[in-house]
């Protein structure tokens, strides 16, 4: 069998590498219009950082895993085509800022149609509005020829930083297909691919629309948990309750569960905001105003949490950060990734620059992306890979990303070289606050009472 994936991004690349690893008899090809990205996949420095990915790619590259920019030829040769091109939020016209921009998606559908001389199973890997498969099917059927296309939905639930682990051992694989003979055959073919390594009972099948909606729903529920605990973090700060204690107490209720209850400076990543806005837009389209407003609040709370963080910094630093050096520890939207898409650090850095602070950004993997995100700010922002150098002469450190490396720094050494009073704003509640306070820092966690010498 020949499997093709169109789109060699964070989703397409790792997913196809895992299929190639687990299915040695299948030839897997990944194509992308971005030639630099394809070249990077074939080199020793992959286009994305993901623990364990390099090893998987190295094991399969040139054996049964191939990367190419020749999209047309690859389509012609494929039996099953995963589509994993990006579906960003629309920036223009109707639904701007909320609806999914499906232009790459439709273009890809037409390209598949134009280059297919044999029947294909087309698998939606990208996250899409519910009922997109119907549009795709209509485009594919518009050729009027003998070639048959069957569209499946197979959303990806991997999280960045743990992509290889998630792919290797998924909680579940979801495959949506049509309830027709051809639909059932296509579903069975895809189930067989995953069954190479995923236990059958964890491979769920459903109708196409449920599958499409489940992806949006999963991300909305996860983000909602973060917004819920972040909402409570504000109340904790006002009442001397401790959000970590609250998380632990509610998380031990097996009905609630302990995961995704870490209060933070806010959620980021390419999916949560985009998918919720997409869900909101979809609800509005169907006239479900109250449902739309309910989910919109998850995003609004996330914006509020970031703005609140900066407001708190300002008030703790005598209502001015003008001219003060502030070191941001971490810029990625979470640890173990170089990805900065929708990272709360972007909004926070911009607001601090607006307040005329001298912002210095440090991150073990994300500095290159940070420079792109903030390029319009020019030299109003500095970038420094060494956290000790970043904090030198600073009035404050703000932890943006929970990288493990920040927990093991020599904070006495850092404190000694900072301006006084030295403040530490822990946007992830990752560090030992009592120890930092002991050294001399004023420590401000999320949803915690301030530890202040002032």
So which residues are the catalytic ones?
Answer: 271
By CB under 6 A, is residue 116 in contact with ligand UDX? no
SS3 of the chain: the string is CEEEEECCCCCHHHHHHHHHHHCCCCEEEEECCCHHHHHHHCCCCCCCCCCCHHHHHHHHECCCEEEECCHHHHHHHCCEEEECCCCCECCCCCCCCCCECCHHHHHHHHHHHHCCCCCEEEEECCCCCCCHHHHHHHHHHCCCCCCCEEEEECCCCCCCCCHHHHHHCCCCEEEECCCCHHHHHHHHHHHHHHCCCCCHHHEEEECHHHHHHHHHHHHHHHHHHHHHHHHHHHHHHHHCCCHHHHHHHHHCCCCCCCCCCCCCCCCCCCCHHHHHHHHHHHHHHCCCHHHHHHHHHHHHHHHHHHHHHHHHHHHHCCCCCCCCEEEEECCCCCCCCCCCCCCHHHHHHHHHHHCCCEEEEECCCCHHHHHHHCHHHHHHEEECCCHHHHHCCCCEEEECCCCHHHHHCCHHHHHHCCCCCCEEEECCCCCCHHHHHHHCCEEEECCCCCECCC
Which residue among 3, 4, 5, 10 contacts ligand UDX (CB under 6 A)?
10
Which residue's CB is nearer to ligand UDX, number 70 or number 410?
Answer: 70
Question: Which one of the spans 102-110, 144-152, 321-329, 445-453 is the region binding ligand UDX (CB under 6 A)?
Answer: 102-110
By CB under 6 A, is residue 363 in contact with ligand UDX? no
Question: Which one of the spans 50-58, 152-160, 279-287, 417-425 is the region binding ligand UDX (CB under 6 A)?
Answer: 152-160
Within 10 Å of residue 245's Cβ, how many Cβ atoms?
A: 12
By CB under 6 A, is residue 214 in contact with ligand UDX? no
Which residue among 65, 261, 352, 374 contacts ligand UDX (CB under 6 A)?
261
Q: Mutual orientation of helices 12-22 and 53-60 as an angle, nearest 10°? A: 50
Which residue's CB is nearer to ligand UDX, number 157 or number 437?
Answer: 157
By CB under 6 A, is residue 95 in contact with ligand UDX? no
Residue 262 C-beta: closest distance to ligand UDX, Å: 3
Count how many Cα atoms sit within 13 Å of the Cα of residue 271 in the half-sphere of its side chain: 21
Residue 196 C-beta: closest distance to ligand UDX, Å: 21
By CB under 6 A, is residue 183 in contact with ligand UDX? no
By CB under 6 A, is residue 268 in contact with ligand UDX? yes
Q: Is there a cis peptide before residue 421, judged by omega within 30 degrees of 0? A: yes
Count of residues touching ligand UDX (by CB under 6 A): 41
By CB under 6 A, is residue 127 in contact with ligand UDX? yes
Q: Going residue by residue from 216 to 235, which x/- string records binding to ligand UDX, judged by CB under 6 A?
A: ---x--x---x---------
Residue 182 C-beta: closest distance to ligand UDX, Å: 25
Residue with nearest beta carbon to ligand UDX: 9
By CB under 6 A, is residue 445 in contact with ligand UDX? no
By CB under 6 A, is residue 306 in contact with ligand UDX? no
By CB under 6 A, is residue 38 in contact with ligand UDX? no
Which residue among 41, 267, 329, 331 contacts ligand UDX (CB under 6 A)?
267
Residue 2 C-beta: closest distance to ligand UDX, Å: 18
By CB under 6 A, is residue 271 in contact with ligand UDX? yes
Residues 321-340 that bind ligand UDX (CB under 6 A): 333-334
Which residue's CB is nearer to ligand UDX, number 178 or number 274?
Answer: 274
Which residue's CB is nearer to ligand UDX, number 8 or number 346?
Answer: 8
Residue 335 C-beta: closest distance to ligand UDX, Å: 8
Give me the residues that bind ligand UDX (CB under 6 A), please.
6-12, 32-34, 37, 84-87, 104, 107-108, 125-127, 156-160, 219, 222, 226, 260-262, 264, 267-272, 333-334
């Amino acid at each position: 069998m020949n499997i093709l994936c169109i789109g060699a991004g964070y989703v397409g690349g790792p997913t196809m590498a895992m299929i190639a690893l687990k299915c040695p008899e299948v030839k897997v090809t990944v194509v992308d219009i971005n030639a630099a990205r394809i070249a990077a996949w074939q080199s020793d420095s992959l286009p994305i950082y993901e623990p364990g990915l390099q090893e998987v790619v190295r094991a399969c590259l040139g054996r049964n895993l191939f990367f190419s920019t020749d999209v047309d030829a690859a389509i012609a040769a494929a039996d099953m085509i995963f589509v994993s091109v990006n579906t960003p939020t629309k920036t223009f016209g109707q639904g701007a800022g909320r609806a999914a921009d499906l232009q790459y998606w439709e273009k890809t559908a037409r390209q598949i149609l134009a280059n297919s001389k044999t029947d294909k199973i087309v698998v939606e890997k990208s996250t899409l509005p519910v009922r997109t498969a119907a549009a795709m099917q209509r485009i594919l059927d518009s050729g009027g020829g003998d070639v048959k296309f069957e569209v499946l939905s197979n959303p990806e639930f991997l999280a960045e930083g743990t992509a290889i682990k998630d792919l290797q051992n998924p909680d579940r694989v979801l495959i949506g297909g049509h309830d027709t003979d051809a639909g059932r055959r296509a579903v069975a073919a895809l189930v067989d691919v995953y069954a190479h390594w995923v236990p059958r009972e964890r491979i769920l099948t459903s109708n196409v629309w449920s599958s499409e909606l489940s992806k949006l729903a999963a991300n909305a529920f996860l983000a909602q948990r973060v917004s819920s605990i972040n909402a409570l973090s504000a109340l904790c700060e006002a009442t001397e309750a401790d959000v970590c204690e609250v998380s632990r107490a509610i998380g031990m209720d097996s009905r609630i569960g302990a995961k995704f209850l870490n209060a933070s400076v806010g959620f980021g990543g390419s999916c949560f905001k985009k998918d919720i806005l997409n869900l909101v837009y979809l609800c509005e389209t169907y006239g479900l105003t109250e449902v739309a407003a309910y989910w919109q609040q998850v995003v609004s709370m996330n914006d509020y949490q970031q703005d609140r963080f900066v407001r708190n910094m300002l008030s703790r630093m005598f209502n001015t950060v003008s001219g003060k050096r502030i070191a941001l520890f971490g810029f990625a939207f979470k640890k173990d990734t170089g990805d900065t898409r929708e990272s709360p650090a972007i909004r926070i850095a911009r607001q601090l620059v607006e307040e005329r602070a001298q912002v210095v950004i440090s991150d073990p993997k994300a500095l290159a992306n940070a420079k792109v995100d903030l390029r319009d700010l020019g030299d109003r922002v500095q970038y420094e890979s060494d956290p000790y150098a970043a904090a030198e002469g600073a009035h404050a450190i703000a932890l943006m990303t929970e990288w493990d490396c920040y927990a093991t720094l020599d904070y006495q050494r850092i404190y000694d070289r900072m301006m006084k009073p030295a403040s530490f704003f822990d946007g992830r509640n990752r560090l030992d606050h009592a120890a930092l306070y002991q050294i001399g820092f004023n420590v401000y966690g999320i949803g915690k009472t301030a530890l202040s010498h002032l």
